[in-house]
C-alpha cells in the first residue's frame, strides 16, 4: 500500500499516521521529522533545511525530492506524511513511481478550520526522542513535559510559535492546496474532516484504507 497524507499544518496528519502505522504495519515517512533529525544532528542537509524551516517556508523542491527518492527506492509500501507539498514534488513522485511501474493507492486529505489549526499548532508539544506529539489542552501527557511512550523530553518546535504559524499556513494555501485538485483529477483523493476527535477521524481513515 502506498499512501500520502495531505493537509495543512495542525490538521492531525502526524497523529493519524501513528494509528495507521500501528494498524497496517506500513512505514511512516514524515519529511518534517527527517528534516528535524538532520537539523539536530547538524548534517549539511539539516543546515540547509533550517534556513527555510525557521522562517516557516518550504525547503526547496530539489533538496526535498532527492531526499525522498533516495529513501523510497528500496521500499514498496509506505505512508508519506508531509510529502508531496508542491505540484513539482507531486510530479516528481509520479515520474519516480511510473518508472518503476508503481502507483499511489490513496491520497488522504485531512482538514480543519483555520482557527482550530492555529490552536492545535501553538499548543503542540513534541517528544525530542520519538517525535510523538501532544497538546497542552487536547492531549496532555500524563506527566508534565515527559513523553508517555518513551520518557523523552517534550519541547515546543520553534516553527510552532505564533509568529511563524501564519507563514506556514500561507505556504500551505499557495503551494500545497493545489494538490487537492491534482489528486482529485487522478481519482485517488479522499477527504477526511479532521476537526473531530482523534478516534472519530481514525475511524474514517480506517474505513477508507480497509477498502484499498
Ligand atoms: P500535523 O502533523 O498535521 O501538523 P499533528 O498530528 O502534529 O498535526 O497535530 C497537531 C496538534 O493537534 C498536536 O498537538 C496534536 O496532539 C493535536 N491533535 C491532532 N489531532 C487532533 C484531534 N483530532 N483533536 C484534538 N487535537 C488533535
Ligand atoms: P506540519 O506537521 O506542521 O505540517 P512538518 O513537520 O510536516 O509540519 O514540516 C515542518 C517543516 O519542514 C515545514 O514547514 C517545511 O519547512 C519543512 N518540510 C517538511 N516537508 C516538506 C516538503 N515536502 N517540502 C518542503 N518542505 C518541507
Ligand atoms: Zn517519546
For residue 4, give the ligand nearest its CA: 2
Nearest CA to ligand 2 atom 18: 32
Domain ranges of the chain: 2-27+75-210
Number of neighbours of residue 74 by Cβ within 10 angstroms: 6
pLDDT above 90: residue 68: yes
CA of 133 to the centre of ligand 3 (A): 8
At residue 201, the pLDDT reads 98
At residue 10, the pLDDT reads 97
Q: Whole-model pTM? A: 0.96
At residue 1, the pLDDT reads 93
Nearest CA to ligand 2 atom 12: 32
Question: What gap in Å lies between CA 88 and CA 77, rounded to an integer?
Answer: 22
At residue 120, the pLDDT reads 97
At residue 212, the pLDDT reads 84
Pick the CATH number of 2-27+75-210 from 3.40.50.620, 3.10.20.740, 3.40.1190.20, 3.40.50.300: 3.40.50.300
At residue 138, the pLDDT reads 96
With contact defined as beta carbons under 8 Å apart, do 190 and 108 qualify? yes
Amino acid at each position: 500500500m502506498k499512501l500520502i497524507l495531505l493537509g495543512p499544518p495542525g490538521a492531525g496528519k502526524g497523529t493519524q499516521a501513528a494509528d495507521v502505522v500501528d494498524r497496517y504495519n506500513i512505514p511512516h515517512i514524515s519529511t518534517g521529522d527527517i528534516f528535524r533529525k538532520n537539523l539536530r544532528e547538524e548534517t549539511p542537509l539539516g543546515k540547509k533545511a533550517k534556513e527555510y524551516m525557521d522562517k516557516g517556508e518550504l525547503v526547496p523542491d530539489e533538496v526535498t525530492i532527492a531526499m525522498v527518492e533516495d529513501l523510497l527506492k528500496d521500499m514498496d509500501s509506505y505512508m508519506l506524511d508531509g510529502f508531496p507539498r508542491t505540484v513539482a514534488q507531486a510530479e516528481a513522485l509520479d515520474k519516480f513511481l511510473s518508472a518503476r511501474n508503481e502507483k499511489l493507492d490513496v491520497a488522504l486529505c485531512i482538514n480543519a478550520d483555520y482557527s482550530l489549526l492555529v490552536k492545535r499548532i501553538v499548543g503542540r508539544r513534541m517528544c525530542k526522542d520519538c517525535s510523538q506529539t501532544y497538546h497542552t489542552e487536547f492531549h496532555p501527557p500524563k506527566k508534565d513535559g515527559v513523553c508517555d511512550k518513551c520518557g523523552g523530553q517534550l519541547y515546543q518546535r520553534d516553527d510552532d510559535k505564533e509568529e511563524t504559524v501564519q507563514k506556514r499556513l500561507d505556504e500551505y494555501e499557495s503551494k500545497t492546496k493545489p494538490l487537492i485538485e491534482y489528486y482529485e483529477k487522478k481519482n485517488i483523493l479522499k477527504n477526511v474532516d479532521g476537526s473531530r476527535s482523534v478516534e472519530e477521524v481514525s475511524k474514517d481513515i480506517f474505513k477508507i484504507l480497509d477498502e484499498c
